[in-house]
């Protein structure tokens, strides 16, 4: 399966940075300490470290497990959200993880002498997003001999991090992991329950007038007036995009000879594409993302990039 562009870029950047600093270190130029995250009271602290630390890793296995999780869960969330929203979410989780780590050091819960590196905070945020989006998706986790639902997997990880962070000194940034999940949760809740402009896709905004009413009626809301998650995804892949493309494509085709026939065919194809995306999303809701065939995953990926 193809890797969507933002996740692919993040994978390449993390791997490239890791080996670049190894080469620089072998050349006698050790800059790794400059970009790791230090305690705010340390003379080595710089504000930009809240961003750069998440691209640094303490070892090859550290890098591998973070990148494997990013590939496994991040590519799915990028296909659901789109590249811009996923990148914003990833960076907010990573920076938020650094802020929580700094807070823990400030409160004396973590040694102020420790520096922090790694994308784990952002990865834990991505894991939370997957668990909230596909709560009943079944995952096989070694060494558990049976599949476990994503919502239980995420909740278990959060409890484990909370327990280990409060009573261990193993050199792992447990508070950063929890911070990534916390900031991810806050951002998702804001998108879901905040102003309509915030909860809609970054690629479009709510419109007033006839088309706006049609979008709301076609999308589907729950009894409290809140748009459901899958209805929002349907609007992203279906009605909104279909209406926009029909108006753009129709205006162009009407100006050409035989425009009405061409316009009819064009709109029929777009409606068929929209119905196919609806069917795929229904299949995800019933059987999880793993139930899709490679062709269905490709169609979902292609639709998210248009």
Closest alpha carbon to 204 in 49, 84, 68: 84
**Where exactly does CATH 1.20.1540.10 map onto the chain?**
5-193
CA distance 233 to 257: 36
Q: Give the pLDDT confidence of 267-288 residue by residue, as tens digits.
A: 667 777 777 877 887 777 666 7
pLDDT the model gives residue 198: 43
Please state, in angstroms and as integers, the Cα–Cα distance from residue 67 to each residue in 128, 201, 205, following that order.
16, 26, 33
Q: What is the 3-state secondary structure (H, E, C) of 210-268?
A: HHHHHHHHHHCECCCCCECHHHHHHHHHCHHHHHHHHHHHHHHHHCCCCHHHHHHHHHH
**CA neighbours closer than 13 Å in the CB half-sphere of residue 71:** 14
The model's pLDDT over 142-160, given as tens digits with 9 standing for 90+, comes to 777 778 888 888 888 778 7
Of 54 and 218, more confident: 54
pLDDT digits (tens, 9 = 90+) for 104-114: 888 888 888 87
pLDDT at residue 213, as a whole number: 30
What's the average model confidence in pLDDT over 183-193? 93
The confidence score (pLDDT) of residue 182 equals 94
Determine the average pLDDT of the residues in 64-79.
Answer: 92
pLDDT (average), residues 46-72 = 92
Question: Is pLDDT above 80 for 84?
Answer: yes
The per-residue DSSP string of 149-160 comes to EHHHHHHHHHHH
Spatial contact of 14 and 55, defined as CB atoms under 8 Å apart: yes
Model pLDDT, residue 56: 92
Query: Across 48-52, 163-167, 283-287, 292-296, which has the greatest mean pLDDT?
Result: 48-52
**DSSP bridge pairs for 142:** none
CB 21 within 8 A of CB 70: no
3-state class (DSSP) for residue 138 = strand
175: pLDDT strictly greater than 90: no
Q: What's the confidence (pLDDT) of residue 189?
A: 93
For the beta carbon of residue 43, count every other beta carbon within 10 angstroms.
6
The verdict on domain 5-193 having CATH code 1.20.1540.10 is yes
pLDDT at position 265, please? 66
| Range of weakest confidence among 23-27, 98-102, 258-262 | 258-262
pLDDT digits (tens, 9 = 90+) for 126-143: 999 999 998 888 887 777
Q: Which residue has the higher pLDDT, 1 or 79?
A: 79
Q: What angle do CA 258, 263, 269 make, to 5 degrees?
A: 135
Confidence of residue 251 (pLDDT cuts 50, 70, 90): very low
Q: What is the CA radius of gyration of the chain?
A: 22
């Amino acid at each position: 399966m193809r890797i969507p562009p933002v996740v692919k870029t993040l994978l390449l950047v993390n791997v490239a940075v890791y080996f670049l600093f190894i080469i620089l270190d072998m050349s006698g130029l050790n800059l790794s300490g400059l970009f790791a995250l230090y305690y705010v009271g340390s003379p080595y602290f710089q504000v930009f470290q809240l961003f750069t630390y998440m691209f640094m890793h303490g070892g090859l296995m550290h890098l591998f497990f973070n990148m494997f999780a990013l590939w496994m869960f991040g590519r799915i969330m990028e296909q659901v959200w789109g590249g811009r929203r996923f990148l914003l979410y990833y960076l907010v989780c990573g920076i938020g993880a650094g802020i929580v780590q700094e807070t823990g050091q400030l409160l004396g819960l973590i040694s102020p002498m420790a520096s922090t590196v790694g994308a784990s905070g952002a990865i834990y945020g991505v894991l939370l997003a997957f668990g909230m989006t596909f709560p009943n998706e079944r995952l096989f986790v070694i060494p558990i001999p049976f599949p476990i639902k994503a919502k239980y997997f995420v909740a278990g990880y959060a409890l484990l991090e909370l327990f280990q962070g409060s009573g261990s000194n193993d050199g792992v940034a447990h508070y950063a992991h929890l911070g990534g999940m916390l900031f991810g949760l806050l951002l998702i809740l804001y998108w879901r329950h905040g102003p309509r402009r915030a909860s809609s896709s970054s690629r479009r905004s709510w419109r007033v007038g006839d088309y706006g009413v049609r979008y709301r009626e076609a999308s589907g809301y729950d009894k409290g007036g809140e748009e459901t998650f899958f209805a929002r995804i349907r609007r992203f892949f279906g009605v909104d995009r279909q209406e926009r493309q029909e108006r753009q494509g129709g205006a162009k085709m009407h100006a050409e000879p035989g425009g009405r026939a061409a316009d009819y065919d064009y709109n029929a194809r777009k409606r068929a594409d929209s119905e196919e995306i609806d069917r795929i999303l229904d299949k995800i809701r019933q059987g999880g993302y793993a139930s899709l065939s490679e062709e269905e995953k490709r169609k979902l990926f292609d639709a998210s990039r248009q």
